[in-house]
Amino acid sequence: MSSAEKKRLRDRRAQQTLRNKKLQRTIKLEEQVAHCEQHHDDQGTQRLLQTIESLRKQNAVLIQRQQRLRSLILTWDDDCPVDLPTEDLPSVGQTSQEEVIQAGLSRPENNILGPLVSDDTNACSVGSINVDTSSGLLDSTPVFTSTAPSIPQSSLSSHANVPLSPNEDHCIPWKLLPLNDDDFSSPQGISLPWFAYPDRIASSPDSPLSPLDFLYGTRENFLSDMIHTVTRRRPFRDPERLAVGWMAYHLTKWLFSPGPTTYARLPEFLRPTLGQTQIPHPMALDFVPWPRLRLNLIQRWHVYRERRDELFGFLAICVKVRWPWGENVLERDERNELCIRRSFYDTFMSESGWGLTSEFINKYPDLVAGTDIASIIYEVI
């Protein structure tokens, strides 16, 4: 083989090697592009950005709350004496310090916490609702009895002086968000699955398009369909599924976008209590109807954390809307479209419209401690 032929052979080998390197590099780049398209799409990036923005807002609220608490502590006057009445206190040496404090708090003028629950039971503003008030509304009265099982008094006294509502003179209620500890780094750490999609929640309407979305699902409203999917896993009846779905929808919209308008759509009993804004807890607990039961569950979540599926499953069976069995919850409006029956809406938007069966009360007496059992007991006739 001549030297010229040898040179041509070397050149061909070098060119082939170069082509192989280019081909391997191209394949590697294509794999990287495919990976980025699969895991770093615009929608996912937007979702992460909205999650970050939501966390920043929550952090700002917590910082403001911390500053208010710090300023409140700094304004305390340690030199101001506190006069406790002595005529009702036992003599020294015959009582413990705890009994002395309890005796002082038992007097109305010394109870700085005020009443346990406000006497104001007026319904809050309901905002917009897909109910035609001009059409004829059927009146009906829910049928239930109020036979309460016995609850140990010792379990009631431990929560007797826990305040439920914040002082509205020093804060704006719609800005007081619950202190949730859900882990948004993974879907498994979020107690309510639809909160993993903040962009879809933001694009959902301010109010549900139709009550049928909660009963049968929908392709037009992501949030309604997700709530329907979750509630279908629990043994709710249609009245409870519709009522729970409606309230969960508006509570989600307020948590995602706090404001006076979204806050006004919440029933008064579903608005956060003081304990919800101070004690870290899963956001799923904020959707329990009764304020006292929510607070008890938050305080004892360490007991029920590992049994949450059993607890929520049993709660879904025992929670009831005080609505006559078999009575329609929907009616047709002037456009012949199905909407929520007004009397049913008024029922589930009131705390007195909800009840718990005696099975739940007997099984979880610590969770109903401090409540008026006679007002929440529900017996099916």
Burial class of residue 198, CB neighbours in 10 A (0-12, 13-18, 19+) = buried
- Can you read off the two tokens belonging to residue 353? 């419209």
With beta carbons less than 8 A apart as the criterion, state whether 379 and 360 touch: no
CA distance 53 to 44: 14
Band the pLDDT of 43: cuts 50, 70, 90: low
Quick: pLDDT tens for 266-280: 999 999 998 999 999
Tell me, what's the pLDDT at 164?
A: 63
Average pLDDT over residues 27-52: 79
- According to the per-residue pLDDT averaged within each range, which of 25-29, 43-47, 185-189 is highest? 25-29
Write down the mean pLDDT value for the chain. Answer: 77
Q: pLDDT per residue over 180-234, tens digit each?
A: 988 888 878 899 999 999 999 999 999 999 999 999 999 999 999 999 999 999 9
Average pLDDT over residues 54-63: 84
What is the pTM (predicted TM-score) of this model? 0.58
User: How far apart, in whole angstroms, are the C-alpha atoms of residue 177 and residue 271?
Assistant: 9
Question: Tell me: the pLDDT tens digits for 285-307?
Answer: 999 999 999 999 999 999 999 99
pLDDT of residue 186: 80
The share of the chain scoring above pLDDT 90, in percent, equals 50
Single-letter code of the amino acid located at 46 = Q
Distance, CA of 295 to CA of 187 (rounded, Å): 25
Higher pLDDT, 211 or 155: 211
Output the pLDDT for position 95.
Answer: 39
Say whether pLDDT at 156 is over 70.
no
Region 148-160 average pLDDT: 38
| pLDDT band per the 50, 70, 90 thresholds, residue 167 | low
Averaged pLDDT, 322-339: 92
Rounded to whole angstroms, the Cα distance separating 230 from 194 reads: 9
Query: Nearest-CA neighbor of 106 among 128, 75, 84, 126?
Result: 84
Long-range interactions of 5-13: CB distance < 8 A, separation 24+: none
* pLDDT, average across residues 121-145: 36
> 40 or 124: which carries more pLDDT confidence?
40
CA pair distance 186, 209, nearest whole angstrom: 30
351: confidence class by pLDDT, cuts 50, 70, 90:
very high
What letter does residue 320 receive in the DSSP assignment?
A: E
Neighbours of 279 (CB within 10 A): 16
pLDDT tens digits, one per residue of 92-110: 333 333 443 344 334 333 3
For residue 148, pLDDT over 80 is answered with no
Scan for tokens 């948004």, then name that residue: 184
| Most confident stretch, 5-14, 132-141, 210-219 | 210-219
Quote the pLDDT of residue 65: 83
Can you tell me the distance from the alpha carbon of 97 to that of 110, in angstroms, rounded to the nearest whole number?
A: 16
Residue 52 has a pLDDT of 87
The closest of 117, 121, 151 to 353, measured between CA atoms, is: 121
With 50 as the cut, is the pLDDT of residue 163 above it?
yes
* Angle in degrees, CA 319, 284, 158, rounded to 5: 70
Q: Is residue 113 pLDDT above 50, yes or no?
A: no
d(C-alpha 221, C-alpha 212), whole Å: 11
Which of 78-92, 125-139, 155-169, 189-203 has the largest mean confidence?
Answer: 189-203
Q: Average pLDDT, stretch 240-258? A: 95
